[in-house]
Amino acid sequence: MAISASMVQELRAKTNAGMMDCKKALEATSGDFEKAVDWLRQKGLSSAAKKAGRVAAEGAVESYIHGEGRIGVLLEVNSETDFVARNEGFRAFTRDIALHIAAAAPVAVSTEELDQNLIAREREVLMAKAREQGKKEDMIAKIVDGQIKKWMSEVCLLEQPFVKNPDLKIADYLKETIAKIGENIVIRRFVRFELGEGIEKKKDDFAAEVAAQVKS
């Protein structure tokens, strides 16, 4: 059954769940509205969107050091109360996100926070590359727009697949944690340090190492 935008909007209005979660629920239940509501409740997602609108000013700064000091991450994650900031589920989430940052090397939390100069530079490089490849001038802008969108999803933390579970995006992991804990949680900012050259190769090696640890 085709899932229409109006069906998704109606489910969102009733449950306060995110648009993508509502679409997934309807797809999983073949468009059955009431079953979709139950699906969202079972997943703990029906109230996550409403919680995400609340102010989060408490929280914690998490640190992660890998490889005898080769990679270091400082991460700030905010919660609504100090009580939740001491919750083990919250702490486990912050540790996971710090580890993920060390492995995946994002450059911003979200697409909205990406440096506009960085985007412009990437666009310039991609346009020059498209011209060198002989792409038609009237198609280059559309081609590069798609490449920029893909690049943004690769370098922004919330859009990246979680290194411990590649089927789950960080944004979805955040949403699940909000639903489980019962408070809004915000990944506020981070900084990542890495010694030496060959960053891309090291990043790939570390991601593989994390994957091996998870499977063991």
Q: Domain segments of the chain: what residues? A: 5-46, 58-110+156-215, 115-153
All residues at 6 or more sequence positions from 107 whose CB lies less than 8 Å from its CB, including other chains? 114, 115, 118, 155, 156
Q: State pLDDT tens for residues 94-151.
A: 999 999 999 999 999 998 888 888 888 888 888 888 888 888 888 888 888 888 888 8
Domains 5-46 and 58-110+156-215 share a fold: no
Q: In 49-164, at which residue ranges do the beta strands (DSSP E only) sit?
A: 58-66, 71-79, 161-162
Q: State pLDDT tens for residues 183-216.
A: 889 999 999 998 864 545 555 566 666 656 655 5
> Kindly report the CA angle at 96 between 53 and 202, in degrees rounded to 5?
125
Q: Are 82 and 60 spatial neighbours (Cβ–Cβ below 8 Å)?
A: no
**In this structure, CATH architecture of domain 5-46:** Orthogonal Bundle (1.10)
CATH superfamily of 58-110+156-215: Elongation factor Ts, dimerisation domain (3.30.479.20)
Answer yes or no: is pLDDT of 49 > 70: no
pLDDT band of residue 52 (cuts 50, 70, 90) is: low
All residues at 6 or more sequence positions from 54 whose CB lies less than 8 Å from its CB, including other chains? 80, 183, 184
Helices 33-43 and 5-15: crossing angle, nearest 10°? 50
Kindly state the tokens that stand for 162. Answer: 């979680």
The more confidently predicted of residues 43 and 192 is 192
For every residue of 68-89, which 3-state class applies, written as one string? CCCEEEEEEEEECCHHHHCCHH
Q: Is the pTM of this model over 0.85?
A: no
* pLDDT for res 202: 55
Average pLDDT along the chain:
83
